[in-house]
Structure 1
């Protein structure tokens, strides 16, 4: 009887590890795509990432490229595709200072410090992992 109780307890613990809410928040619009790109902030193209409050757009990686921002407390990187639309011509985001603008009909605007839309939207921007060593920034997933 004691073994049965332990088995039931372990099974309940195992299945409670992944809740339905975790699966429901997965963005259906943006597929997983491999990315691994290194940025050298000593180069003129990326030099402004050495200073807080600056963002750059990197084309050719991810779905529509990605944005990198120096928040002052760290470096963050986000996919340059609107997280609340199916991939289309209008879902490519346009960098505007520390914001990214969607050109689809609802004209969502995302804050790159947080990756959140400035108005109500279901999904935040897709964030990539970042590691930094000196002037080198690695963006990956």
Structure 2
């Protein structure tokens, strides 16, 4: 009897699990596979050694990435393409302080601390990338 209960419990668990990733997949932004390392001892990336600072690069992602140092242990990285538009010239986000703004005329703005939309219209937040600090190297990947 316990064996039957265990089998039904396992079946229920497996059938009850689903991935929300497929439901919230952004139809505007393509999925890119990349991995890049930033050596934090190099002068170019020095600002990333201090909490509250950011670094913007246009060399990776669709229109670039922004990296934000939250507290020296946690780093955040986001795509610099407005997630509520098909990639185009105006959907490349401009970062000022901790806000990323779109120039498509809809007033879309996002915070680079959480990725959430803070102005404008749309249902998607900024596309996050993985950020992992290993020793003195920061790895950003998707």
Q: What is the TM-score with the length of structure 1 in the denominator?
A: 0.86
1:132 corresponds in structure 2 to: 133
Please show how residues 78-97 of structure 1 align to structure 2 within 5 Å: 78-97=78-97
2:27 corresponds in structure 1 to: 28
The Cα shift of 1:85 comes to 0.9
1:117 corresponds in structure 2 to: 117
Deviations along 1:89-136, one digit per CA (max 9) or x if unpaired, are 111111112111111121211111101111353111111111102321
1:68 corresponds in structure 2 to: 67
Q: Which stretch shows the higher mean deviation, 118-127 or 4-13? A: 4-13
Aligned residues: 140
The Cα shift of 1:3 comes to 8.7
Please show how residues 9-48 of structure 1 align to structure 2 within 5 Å: 10-18=10-18, 22-48=21-47
Work out the CA distance in 2 between the residues paired with 1:22 and 1:32. 12
The Cα shift of 1:41 comes to 1.8
The Cα shift of 1:12 comes to 3.9
The Cα shift of 1:10 comes to 4.4
Unaligned residue ranges in structure 1 (runs of 5+): none
Three-state SS of the structure 2 residue aligned to 1:37 is strand
Q: CA RMSD in A?
A: 2.2
Unaligned residue ranges in structure 2 (runs of 5+): none
